[in-house]
Chains A and B, each alone.
Chain A
Amino acid sequence: MAEDKRLMKGNEAIGEAAVRAGCRAYFGYPITPQNELTAYMAKNMLDKKRTFIQAESEVSAINMVYGAAATGARTMTSSSSPGLSLKQEGISYACGADLPLVIVNVQRSGPGLGGISPGQSDYFQSTRGGGHGDYYHLVLAPKSVQEAADLTYEAFDLADRWRMPVMILADGLIGQMMEGVVLPPARDLAALPRKPWAVGRQADSHRPINHVTSINLVPDELEAANRKRFARYDEIKQAEVRFEEVNTEKAELVFVAYGTSSRVCLGALEMAKKAGVELGLFRPISLWPFPEKRVAELAAKGKKFLAVEMSMGQMVEDVRLAANGKTEVGFYGRCGGNIPSEEEVFAEAMRLVGTKSGK
């Protein structure tokens, strides 16, 4: 039976979901607006005799995660935008060594130190392989505290299944707001998947030795390894694309937005309903893999798109790639820590609908 609904901050719900998913080691470094998550993990990992370390830097934290993941343990780090830039080196290594781990980014506004208010300007960095080399990893974007908990919980399974880092791309609003949440049941640590490739416990099975590494100086071998990884990426694109649609059938204009921006667009949809206008929302949940097929289908049906982001326009590029010139793709963004209001988003949609229908 499901537990009672609890009122929790997004940051804390993510932490509790990670604990319940069987996270055995958490490593982090303080940064606003995700500090409650690190503090939650300190409190709720140490009391269970699991590993919590406040690292000396984000660079160290991701490399501690790298080490823990190499032993096959479920492990996680979290940070906010500037900290994620520091973690990119480690993420590249983890992708190169095919290590399952979970990274949470509670995005703030940038560039540079930027501000501590919510932002969505790490989309490029997150979905394009933010470090060096050819790689991608799963990126999931929650829209609510409930979804932040659910996706974090599932991220550990996905990381193990696909042997890759999984990033939860939230933002300061998702992290700081409180909503009701029903938490998933705690996993039995003894029943978590075995990882025959991991280091350690060789004495149990006398298996051949294992190496966790990303180096290969033989060009043909490294190319073959990369091609094999990209074949896995193709499988992931078949299996793990996630999105949500609201009123896309009836709508002439469809918002494309993820996370907090998608909630704002839902507000604009309600305003549209009252005004007797049909607007729709397409919400990518997996940002990598991006739901490009479905966006292409909607484009082919003649739907116009309005991408809404808390950035100067990043995800909109994926929308344009998927639409491939078949339809108009507008963009409305706020940045610097500002969240677009449903009123301004609605007004922009009305402007586009009005212009195109020649009213």
Chain B
Amino acid sequence: MTEKTFMAGFGGQGVISLGQLWVYCAMKEGLEVTFFPFYGAEKRGGVARASVIVSSGEIASPLVTRPDSSVVMNPDSLPLCEEIAKEGGVMLVNSSLVKSGGARKDLKLVMVACNDIAEKIGDVKIANMVMMGALSKVTGAVKLDKLEAVLKTFFPESKHRFIPMNMQAIEAGRAAV
């Protein structure tokens, strides 16, 4: 099994955290992983993109150029993901911000109202976690069963009180697809 995912959004949407947590959980599940963020000169507010691969075998190129799955967090990212998505691949779209699913008919389109669901839970900042829950359900590549433990090392102690909310977002994401 190899799942290549391309994740895109704008800075501050948690795209980088989403990618990091995805591979962190995958590694804990015994998979090989690689995560490559497209780093830019701007540290905030710019474009956030990441190449993310999880695999049961050795990973060749860390660069995702024909993603099995794409994560589209904002409208600007849609054309980009449409251009590179693999024939017959999956495209998960944050429908709270992206109203259309694009023109590609071969893709399996999954619309998830990440921002709305996150706000209902209590914080729009966890929209990325809603998306991760959906991604897990749709691809089956990473089970996320070790996420709670991972979050304990990922977040500093002072932020541990937000973990239940994050777990809730994952479940809501799963339920939405």
Contact = CB atoms under 8 A, between A and B. Distances in A.
Interface of A: 5, 7, 32-33, 116-117, 172-173, 176-180, 260, 263-264, 266-267, 269-270, 339, 341-343
B81 interface: no
A263 B33 CA distance: 14
Contacts of A179: 33-35, 59, 62
19 contacts: A5-B27, A7-B20, A7-B24, A7-B35, A32-B39, A116-B40, A173-B36, A176-B36, A176-B37, A177-B37, A178-B34, A179-B62, A180-B32, A263-B59, A264-B61, A266-B58, A339-B63, A342-B63, A343-B66
B20 A178 contact: yes
B60 A267 contact: yes
Contact of A116 (B34, B39, B65, B66): B39
Given A172-B39, A173-B36, A342-B65, A178 B23 contact: yes
B65 A180 contact: no
Nearest to A180: B27
Nearest to B31: A180
Given A176-B36, A177-B36, A179-B33, A7 B61 contact: no
A260 B34 CA distance: 13
Interface of B: 20, 23-24, 27, 32-37, 39-41, 58-63, 65-66
- Indicate the member of B20, B27, B62 with the most A CB atoms within 10 Å: B62
Contact of A341 (B37, B58, B65): B65
A116 B66 CA distance: 24
A7 B33 CA distance: 9
Given A32-B41, A178-B20, A173 B35 contact: no
Contacts of A5: 27
B61 A180 contact: no
Nearest to A339: B63
A7 B35 CA distance: 10
Contacts of B59: 179, 263
Given A179-B33, A179-B62, A264-B60, 19 more contacts: A7-B20, A7-B24, A7-B33, A7-B35, A33-B39, A176-B36, A177-B34, A178-B23, A178-B34, A178-B35, A178-B36, A180-B32, A267-B61, A269-B60, A341-B61, A341-B65, A342-B65, A343-B65, A343-B66
A178 B32 CA distance: 11
Contacts of B63: 173, 263-264, 339, 341-342
A177 B63 CA distance: 10
B60 A266 contact: yes
Contacts of B37: 176-177
Nearest to B62: A177
A339 to B, nearest CB: 5
Contacts of A7: 20, 23-24, 27, 33, 35
A116 B41 contact: yes
A181 B170 CA distance: 27
B24 A342 contact: no
Contacts of B36: 173, 176-178
B32 A176 contact: no
A175 to B, nearest CB: 9
Nearest to B51: A177
Contacts of A263: 59-63
Contacts of A180: 27, 32-33
Nearest to B40: A116
B60 A270 contact: yes
A32 B42 CA distance: 12
Contacts of B58: 266
- Indicate the member of A7, A172, A264 with the most B CB atoms within 10 Å: A7
A127 B61 CA distance: 25
Contacts of A116: 39-41
B6 to A, nearest CB: 12
Given A33-B39, A178-B35, A173 B62 contact: yes
Contacts of A33: 39
Nearest to B27: A180
Contacts of B60: 263-264, 266-267, 269-270, 342
Contacts of B32: 180
A200 B39 CA distance: 44
- Indicate the member of B37, B58, B61 with the most A CB atoms within 10 Å: B61
B23 A266 contact: no
Contacts of A177: 34-37, 62
Nearest to A266: B60
Enumerate the 9 nearest inter-chain pairs by beta-carbon distance, A residue then B residue, closest first: A266-B60, A267-B61, A267-B60, A177-B36, A341-B65, A178-B35, A264-B61, A263-B61, A180-B27
Contacts of B35: 7, 177-179
